[in-house]
Each structure stands twice: as C-alpha cells, then as structure tokens.
Structure 1
C-alpha cells in the first residue's frame, strides 16, 4: 500500500516544497501569496510530512478537521529545488528510502530496497501536475483555474483546478500564512487525499548544479519508462 501510494504521487512528479518570499503578507489572499512565491522564490530546501487518506475514510477525517487523527499512510523526508526549470530532489526517508531526482529533462526514481532506478523523460509533462506549481514556470493560469478558498486553521487557502481533464488530480488546495507555504492538499480523481505539510523551509539558498545530477548507484537495475 505504501509503495503504491508513493508511485502514484511520483507519477505526477508531485509533491514537495517551500516557503514564499520575505515580503510582508499580512491580510494578503492566498492567490496573492502564491503569485509572490512564483515570482520571488527561485530555490528552497526543507522537510515534509506526507499523509494519505483513502476516499472511504476522508469524510470522517475532514469532519474532525484532522486534529489528533492518524492518517492511513504517513511518510516523511526532505526536498531541494531550483526553479524555473523543473530541477528538484525529493527524498523519502521514512517509512522506507526512495529518491526522486529531476535535472529538468529526466526524472530519476531510485528504490533503495530494490536497488532499481526508473528513468522517465519529462517532455513538458510537469504541465498540469502539482509539481508544476512549485518547480515549473510562472505561467500558472495556463494550466489551472484559481480561486480563493477561505481561511482554515489560520491559513489562507486557494484552490487550483486543472484545465486539462486527463490529469490524475481533480483539484489541488494550497494553504499559506504570512507568505509561507504551510500545507498542500491533493485530491485525486478517485476521491483520495494526499496531504503535504512543510517544515524547516529555507528560502533562496545557493544550490550547486551537481545536486540535481543523478548518478546511478553501483549494480542498480535501470528501467527506462
């Protein structure tokens, strides 16, 4: 179940992420804060916690505002990214180790337990995926319709609906506070929810290019797909 979840999220190159600029965002809407992020944050690193809630458990989870609730699947790790250009490193450290690394042209997924590397050419596939919001270009409205989604848990929320109907996600919600990215909710077409919370974010660090260059581990089985 856990590895199936991760592969589903990976297939959309999702998930990973950061804070906004050092501007003051008191009383600013979620859309304004996200636009500032796209304009001001060119690189970041930090940590994430990822929860997965199946559709049949989602209503009860939301009714209690997920306070004190234990999601079905929990994973955690760290990330680094440089944008625009789609370069990132996304590392799952728990409950098992897995690496996603993108140099802007190809996405490499390394499963340490299997010592297996999957290589996939992107060919512009970041398009309407959640990853495009954080790693892609600034042209967000080309791929998504945006709307304000109110205030919850003291965060300003906005909702993004993919304009293309052949994506795996039905909608994406982003929670921000004072110019900082706090949470990301990814609702897939089957009604399941992937919830990402972001911690210890460092904005605009200098990241060497070598960070995004993947080296195939010795003896690893390489699959091009």
Structure 2
C-alpha cells in the first residue's frame, strides 16, 4: 500500500473509529476541557496530522508517514467538515445524520450513517455532544512543555482506538494523540482556532461534486 493510500485509510479511521478561556490558564486538563466543551458550540481552525508507529517500549519506529494538513469546522452535535489539503485532497463531512468521505483523486464519495458511531469515536471529542463521560473514561495525564494532558479511554471495546489524549493550553485543545492496538499513533496539532464563529443552517449540507461516483455503505 502506498503512503498516500495509507494516509487515506488513517484519515477514514479517525472518523469511522469514526481551541482561550479566562480564569483557567493554569487549571488541570480535565477542568480546562470541561469548560471548553460547555462553552463551545462551534469552531473552526487548521490542523496538522502525522502518523507514526511505536515500539513496545514507547519509542517511535522509523518510516513515519508524511504529515497531512488542512482545515476543520464543526457545530455540535455531529456536524463537521474536516478537509485534508496536503499531501492529497480529501473531505470528511457530516450533517448530523450521515458521514460523507470525498476523495478528489478518485472523484469518489462514500456515504455512511453517522448513527451512534460518533459517540465512542475520536471525532466525538471535538464534534459530539457534551456528554463525553457517557462514552469515555477521563483522567489526568502528565503535563509536558506547558501543555496539560487529558486521557480519554472508550468505555466500549467496539472501537478502533485504545486511548485518546487531549493536550490543552489556556483552556483550549492544542493537540490530540490517538493510539490503536496495532502500535500506530495519530498525532494532531491545532492552530488558528476560532471559537463559536457564526454558523449557517445549510453550511454542513454535502453536495457531491459533478461526475463523482457515490457509494452508500
């Protein structure tokens, strides 16, 4: 499998398996995160994502995939547009009921029911409802380089990821790490995060590009 194809699979798994607040600058990660979730109805920003392999001793294996980058926007619950711009173009979009995955190179759209799958997936951390503790066990993790870390472990075993770590600074998520049972880690960093921007009613409705093949799953 090519690196581009591997990155496409990783992007899909992120969703198929599927950021400052005054007064909490030095608060613990859990407090910062709960404040963020309670006060954030919508957001938009940019991200960089990197896939790495980890040895049993926690050391990174050589041959990591090239970093991907793009933009995101969301409105709770369950509405989002996650756009990969480099090194290839792909869009993952949800309207609250269905998930659309558009691959520009293939000119192909895959449509899936969003259903309850969002609840225990990594996407729920940013895009889901405020009731995260229904699907995740949350606990503090050691801080690093000025970032407070929170670990979220899915309560259900029917999920792609073993654990999800969220890094927060000044009340905003700035990073995430997603670990699966095969020793692969997805590292994401967030920048230019705008909290609660205006959202239109039809902003998250997906329209298939002209000539695209559409597959229902």
Common fold: TM-score over 0.5: yes
Q: TM-score, normalised by structure 2?
A: 0.92
2:8 alignment partner in structure 1: 6
Residue 106 of structure 1: CA displacement? 0.3
Alignment of 1:140-179 (within 5 A): 140-179=132-171
**Are residues 194 and 41 of structure 1, via their aligned partners in 2, closer, same or farther at CA, if it must alter by over 3 Å?**
same
1:77 — aligned with what?
A: 70
Q: Which runs of 5+ in 2 are unaligned?
A: none
Query: What is the DSSP-based 3-state SS (H/G/I as helix, E as strand, rest coil) of the residue aligned with 2:59?
Result: helix
Which range is displaced more, 70-79 or 145-154? 70-79
- Offset of residue 58 of structure 1: 8.3
| Deviation string, structure 1 residues 46-69 (Cα, Å, up to 9, x no partner) | 00000100234984349xxxxxx9
Indicate conservation of the 8 Å contact 2:21/2:36, yes or no.
Answer: no
SS at the partner of 1:38?
helix
User: Which residue in 1 is equivalent to 2:114?
Assistant: 122
1:42 to 2:41 alignment: yes
Partners of 1:164 and 1:192 lie apart in 2 by 20
Cα deviation, 1:25-66, whole Å, max 9, x if unaligned, reads 12211001110111001111100000100234984349xxxx
Counterpart contact for 2:137–2:155, Cα < 8 Å: yes
Query: Residues 70 and 200 of structure 1: is their aligned pair in 2 closer, same or farther, counting only changes over 3 Å?
Result: farther
Equivalent positions of 1:101-112 (< 5 A) are 101-112=93-104
Name segments (4+ residues, structure 1) moved above 6 Å.
Answer: none
What TM-score does the superposition give when structure 1 sets the normalisation length?
0.89
Q: In structure 2, which of residues 202, 207, 210 is the aligned counterpart of residue 218 of structure 1?
A: 210
Contact 1:53 1:73 in 2 (8 A): no
Gapped regions of structure 1 (runs ≥ 5): 63-68
Say if 2:94 and 2:114, in contact at 8 Å, map to a contact too.
no
- 1: distance between equivalents of 2:207 and 2:213? 13
1:65 matched residue in structure 2: none
d(CA) in 2 for partners of 1:58, 1:71: 17
| Equivalent-residue separation in structure 2 for 1:182 and 1:111 (angstroms) | 27
Supply the distance in 1 between the matched residues of 2:132 and 2:177 (Cα, whole angstroms). 17
**Compared with structure 1, are the counterparts of its residues 75 and 58 closer, same or farther at alpha carbon in structure 2 (3 Å cutoff)?**
farther
- Following superposition, the deviation at residue 209 of structure 1 comes to 2.4
Superposed displacement of residue 6, structure 1: 3.0
Alpha-carbon distance in 2 for matches of 1:2, 1:58: 28
